[in-house]
Structure 1
Amino acid sequence: MRVVHVSRLKACYPSAEELEEIERRKVLEIFEEEIHLCQCDLTCKEGHSGPTYESMQTVFDRISFRPAVNLSNPTIANISFTLYAVLGVNEKTQILTTFLWLRLYWHHQFLVWDADDCGGVTRISLPVKQLWVPDIIVYEFVDDDVSQQCPYVYVNHTGHIRWDRMLRLVSACNLEIFSFPFDVQNCSFTFGSYMHTIRDVRLSPALSFEEMSGNSKQYLETSGEWELVNIYGETSVLKFGIDEWDIITFWVVIKRRPVLYVVNLLIPSSFLMLIDILSFYLPPHSVDRASFKMTLILGYTVFLLIMNDLLPSTANGTPLIGIYFSVCLALMVISLLETVIITNVLHSNSKKYREVPHWVRVVILKHVARMICYQWPKELVKPTASRGSTRDDKADRPDSTSPSWVLAPATPVHTPVQHTTSNIGPGGVSSVPELRQICQDLSDLRAHLTLMQKEDVLQEQWCHVGYVLDFLLFRIYLILISCYAMVIICMWCIWVNQ
């Protein structure tokens, strides 16, 4: 039995790596030989225009191979598109739907012929299914392409191919809705190969970004909610592990037309707020202002429910217009609470006409009334005290524009009733007893009139306390609404300028 040394076996039989390398070289040699034969077979016959069917059939049979004579040289593909329509923007799902006219160029090194030998034919159309096409996709694509496909491409005699296709692009986009309805969206379209790395396929824009933006603005047919602002982009390299892909990123900037939302949302809301402000001019003592304001709040709530479908909503945050509506509703509620307070003050007669506390007369009827320039009724203004009043009396005395009862509660005047008796006769008995009854009735009537006068004075005091508070709270309410409106307008202007 012969014994063979292990080293001799290794010398006679190559390893698995060497076998793989030998096999790869053989395949490349066969492939390059076939490519050379394929490139030389694209000929024309005399009396016929264009390449022969047999020569092109050889190219069609090798559709699976990248059309490059030297596989170390990448195929360069040029991309350009025209934004034809903005079909919709879904803020809830963060999806942008557009319609593009996409144009793709690349060089097929096997489809080359001499135009002079082929009857002057420089361009022919061929079915796209019979040719190798770079696998260019949009990385943000999130739905099936249901647009109509163009089945043909144009092939130049130099081997340059142009493929025009229509693309209904449903792409993911990070939508910012805080400044709605004055928002500007910036969505990206990233074109790149799915399988071929940078060593096989290189990408570049076919037109400048300014030209693509100008063409899109010229051919944009939709005049709905969105308008195109600009298109710009850049080329870059995407790295994933040890492989690199060549990509082109286009940024499409679109701007919302806010007229629809201003007319349907902002103007009606502003009108309701204006009515709420004007309701302060209703006399609170003779008109049920609270019922009016409650009806207004109910109408505003129904308005928000109807217009809820027009407002966008995302998980990232609430748009500024939603905050605007919420604050407007809160201001209406505050206005209703103010009306409740004033109504409670004006109807203090249910509390047996309690006298106005001294601190209320000093703070509200004197200082607050002077601060808000409250005009007292002329019939309540009385002349000041006499010259003989002391210095202390002058310190507590209100000014000449305030009523005389501002700092001193009204006290009823109790005048003792003198019972008038008739002349007493010799027997000591009243001659006219009816006179005593009349005097008693007059005394009761005087006491009743005095009480009514006191109640009127107290009621008038509480009414003026309510009026002064109403004027004060109304001015505070106006200041709050003015500051709030200025903040909202400034925030919207800042976002629009950005």
Structure 2
Amino acid sequence: MESGMPKCSRRALALIISLQICLSLPNGTSAGFNEKKLLHKLLDHYNVLERPVANESDPLQLSFGLTLMQIIDVDEKNQLLITNIWLKLEWNDMNLRWNASDYGGVKDLRIPPHRLWKPDVLMYNSADEGFDGTYPTNVVVRNNGSCMYVPPGIFKSTCKIDITWFPFDDQRCEMKFGSWTYDGLQLDLQLQDDAGGDISSFITNGEWDLLGVPGKRNEIYYNCCPEPYIDITFVIIIRRRTLYYFFNLIVPCVLIASMAVLGFTLPPDSGEKLSLGVTILLSLTVFLNMVAETMPATSDAVPLLGTYFNCIMFMVASSVVSTILILNYHHRNADTHEMSNWIKTIFLIWLPWILRMHRPPGTPEYGASHNRNAPMIAERKPIHFPDVEMKERSSKSLLANVLDIDDDFRHNHRGGGTPTPMPPSSFFRSVYRQAEDNGNGARVPPPEPVVATHGCINADYELAMILKEIRFITDQMRKDDESSVVTRDWKFAAMVVDRLCLIIFTLFTIIATLAVLFSAPHIIVS
């Protein structure tokens, strides 16, 4: 039966079925035709160069807003701010109006921006290679002629970094937006929100805290033109989070400074005082270079942390100089240096009294054993020899005991014989003087006539030489005692300087650290 149906009847049946299917679909599916018709009507004779106003003398009102999504980076070295921002521009285009009922209820359209007139708003202080970092999204056009353009973009803007209070600093980075060609009489920019930029969707940054994004409308008259030029300036206020810098720069610097102070507790004989100070100075130089690498090469200001590092480096360098002075004092002796009166007064009397320092046990105090006009050895008690009575009890005289000979002259004198005459005093003087004049200690024999005249001249000469040697040894011991006293005085002076430097540099480190922390605008570690 169907095969016998005429061909025209089959076509008419298919057309009826298709119409029934189309009528049974929802009304929204019929909008494609209306939207196409509307786009042809709006854009076929649309001129993208025409400023869409009813009267050419009237300015076009442009509402401008900003949504800050993320702070990507703050480049202090190059003084740049990189952010992720969504712009929001709204204006009314009189050439894009229609009656929604005439076009199947179509109330809005999405049109590419190159098919429409759009304001040439750019960021004046852009540092991007392409200058405009926005992505050209579609423009949402409504039937009343309102146009909303929300282009997102990665903005690289210039920002003058103030490093005065680094790392406890706040930065204010401006982003200035305005029309590149239209003046205020042709395009009137208005701030969309008096509170400034929208930060409701802001993604927190690990290095910076966002304090706010206030905005301001500026109307500026330039000397070149009588027309005003309008711009919208947003200020991104951020605060540096100091937790990273506190634990990676400040705390190590304080520990290194304390090590430099503790170096004064090392004894000078250890040989590590000077090498420790130089090592600490090199360590601080490395930390200072780390700070300098992140800071811009500017002479406008010195960062607070750099000032602190310089103070600590000055302290460590001064400690190295003080250590050299201490080692110099410690290794001085009577053969190379003579302690002047003012050094004795300052380092052996006044400073020990102020610092409550005392000499080690067994060492006499300077005030009790020293005289400014006489050496310490002059106040010692003289050495007492054996009494004369003990010598009278001996069967030999002092000369005979020393020379191990018989006391012939004493026996002869007691037996009534003629005593052996003693050499005259001039003989001992001549012998002693000859021995003194001999610098190498060799014995110089007395003149031959004297030897021939006196029988015991050899024994008397030996006695004179022994007395001379005893006096030489006594003088040498006296000189050694005086030298040891001078050496102990220099070592004690070195101890006084060591203690004084320990106190001074400890106070300096504490005061410098507290001054840096409390001079900062904020010291909240976060």
**TM-score, length of structure 1 as denominator length:** 0.76
2:247 corresponds to which residue? 263
Match of 2:153, SS state, is strand
**Alignment partner, residue 300 of structure 2:** 316
Q: Following superposition of structure 1 onto structure 2, how do residues 188-207 of structure 1 map, counting pairs within 5 Å?
A: 188-207=174-193
| Structure 1, unpaired ranges of 5+ | 1-44, 383-397
Letter in 2 for 1:411: I
Residues in 2 aligned to 1:281 and 1:403: alpha-carbon distance in whole angstroms: 28
Deviation, 1:358, is 3.2
The alpha-carbon distance between structure 1 residues 317 and 443, as it changes in their structure 2 partners (threshold 3 A), is same
How far residue 442 of structure 1 moved from its aligned partner, in angstroms, is 5.7
In structure 1, the partner of 2:265 is 281
SS at 2:41's partner residue?
helix
Aligned residue identity for 1:404: S
Q: Distance in 1 between matches of 2:32 and 2:490?
A: 114
Give the Cα–Cα distance (whole angstroms) in 1 for the partners of residues 510 and 192 of structure 2: 53
- Contact in 1 for aligned 2:86/2:152 (Cα 8 Å): yes
Counterpart contact for 2:211–2:238, Cα < 8 Å:
yes
Partners of 1:293 and 1:46 in 2: how far apart?
84
Change (3 A) 1:494 1:303: closer
Counterpart for residue 445 of structure 2: none
Is 1:84 matched up with 2:69?
A: yes
Report which stretch shifted further, 83-92 or 457-466. Answer: 83-92
Cα distance change, pair 403–311 in 1 and its aligned pair in 2 (3 A): farther
Could you tell me whether the CA contact under 8 Å between 1:381 and 1:404 is conserved in 2? yes
Q: 2:342 maps to what in 1? A: 359
SS of equivalent residue, structure 1 residue 224: coil
Which structure has more relative contact order (CA 8 Å, sep 6+)? It is 2
**1:480 and 2:508 are equivalent in the alignment:** yes
Distance 2:368 2:488 in 1: 11
CA distance in 1, matches of 2:293, 2:246: 15
Aligned counterparts of 1:162 and 1:380: Cα–Cα separation in 2:
94
Pick closer, same or farther for the CA change 1:247–1:301 going to 2, 3 Å: closer
CA distance in 2, matches of 1:354, 1:52: 107
Q: Report Cα offsets for 1:302-344 as digits up to 9, x if no partner.
A: 4444554234432433323223222322221111111111111
- Could you tell me how far apart the structure 1 residues matched to 2:219 and 2:497 are? 70
Give the number of equivalent residue pairs. 429
Aligned mates of 2:207, 2:144 — CA distance in 1: 45
Return the alpha-carbon distance in structure 2 between the equivalents of residues 378 and 265 of structure 1.
45
Looking at structure 2, the residues matched to 353 and 134 of structure 1 have their Cα atoms a distance apart, in angstroms, of 89
8 Å CA contact retained: 1:424, 1:431: no
Q: Per-residue CA shift, 1:243-267, capped at 9, x if unaligned?
A: 2122211111112222333333222
* 2-structure distance, mates of 1:46, 1:477: 85
Pick closer, same or farther for the CA change 1:161–1:403 going to 2, 3 Å. Answer: farther
User: Closer, same or farther in 2 for the Cα pair 1:236/1:294, shift >3 Å?
Assistant: closer
Shift of 1:213: 4.4
Distance 2:32 2:500 in 1: 102
Q: How far apart are the structure 1 equivalents of 2:176 and 2:230? A: 10
CA contact (8 A) 2:126 2:132 kept: no
- The structure 2 residue matched to 1:227, chosen from 209, 213, 218, is 209
Question: Please, what is the CA RMSD of the aligned residues?
Answer: 3.3
Q: CA deviation at 1:440?
A: 6.6
Picking from 332, 355, 364, the partner of 2:316 is 332
Indicate the SS of the match to 1:185: strand
Q: 1:452 pairs with 466, 473, 480, which one?
A: 480
1:125 offset after TM fit, Å? 1.0
Match of 2:376 in 1: 410
User: How far off is 1:364 after superposition?
Assistant: 2.6
Paired amino acid for 1:170: K
Paired letter, 2:125: E
Contact 1:124–1:154 (Cα < 8 Å) also in 2: yes
Q: What amino acid maps onto 1:159 in structure 2?
A: G
Structure 1 residue 146: deviation in Å? Answer: 6.7
- For 1:440 and 1:237, locate their aligned partners in 2 and report how far apart those are by CA, in whole Å: 109
Secondary structure in structure 2 of the residue aligned to 1:380: coil
Distance 2:31 2:473 in 1: 137
Unpaired runs of at least 5, structure 2: 1-29, 387-396, 401-405, 413-418, 421-454
Q: Hey, what does 1:120 align to over in structure 2? A: 105
Give the conservation status (yes or no) of the 8 Å contact 2:137–2:149. no
Cα separation, partners in 2 of 1:65 and 1:359, compared to 1, 3 Å: closer
Identity %: 24
- Greater Cα offset, 227-236 or 141-150: 141-150
SS of corresponding position for 1:238: strand
How far residue 128 of structure 1 moved from its aligned partner, in angstroms, is: 1.3
Contact 1:192/1:246 (8 A) holds in 2:
yes
TM-score, L = length of structure 2: 0.72
Residue type at the aligned position of 2:126: F
**2:213 partner SS:** strand
